[in-house]
Amino acid sequence: MNCPNCHKVLYSRQRPCEHCGAPLPEELRLPEDEIAKLKQEREEFDARLAKMRKEAAQDEEERRTRLSSFIPPRSLPPPGA
């Protein structure tokens, strides 16, 4: 959607135009219930992302623990020694 004043692309329909500062007409602004819905979706997304990052960190820690506890086999003496 473009600003009706400067015709540049609008990235937010919650506030005045970020380019020219012109207030957006009421019919272009997002309704409050839609804003609340978007905020709720963002919070849910952030929670899922935090959970995935925590799980990835735990998996990495487990992998490092397994690798650090690995004892390589003794090398065999060369043949004929």
Q: Tens digit of pLDDT for each residue in 8-42?
A: 998 877 778 888 988 888 888 888 898 899 999 99
Per-residue pLDDT, 69: 75
* 58's tokens: 């735990």
pLDDT tops 80 at residue 5: yes
Report the distance separating Cα 43 and Cα 66, nearest Å: 35
Share above pLDDT 90 across residues of the chain, in percent, rounded to a whole number = 40
Q: Which residue has the higher pLDDT, 3 or 53?
A: 53
pTM for this prediction: 0.57
CA-atom Rg of the chain in angstroms: 28
Q: Which residue has the higher pLDDT, 13 or 50?
A: 50
